[in-house]
Amino acid sequence: MSYVTRQKFAAPLNRDQVAQNWHQRGYSCDVFTDPPGREWNDFVHTTNELVTAMDGTLRLMIGGEEIIAEPGDEVFIQKGVRHSVKNVSPSTTHWLYGYD
């Protein structure tokens, strides 16, 4: 399964444009701000999730597959699949996430 759509959104990322796109597709849109090295590990949701880095770089592990997401890449995480997200940038990263 392909989890990532490269350059789905043009950089620099416009949060309002992403939110509008996601809302049209039935997803919420919120932002996380994470310091370097911050990890969110072993989550499983009952809904599908979308993730897009606004700046910086994220490493996602989805169902055992590693994905590196750069600004503008959209990552799809299917409901019921174990996943983790880590800020692998040397600086603070802002990223969007939403659920259907």
- Residue-range domain boundaries for the chain: 4-99
**Which whole-number Å values give the CA distances from 98 to 22, 41, 47, 94, 95, in the listed order?**
8, 17, 10, 14, 10
Round the average pLDDT of the chain to a whole number and report it.
96
How much is the average pLDDT of 52-73?
Answer: 96
Give percent above pLDDT 90 in the chain: 95
Band of residue 1 on the pLDDT scale cut at 50, 70, 90? low
pLDDT at 24: 98
Band of residue 89 on the pLDDT scale cut at 50, 70, 90? very high
What CATH code would you report for 4-99? Answer: 2.60.120.10
How much is the average pLDDT of 42-49?
Answer: 97
pLDDT at 9: 96
Which residues lie below 8 Å from residue 64, measured CB to CB, with a gap of 6+?
Answer: none
Q: What is the pTM of this model?
A: 0.95
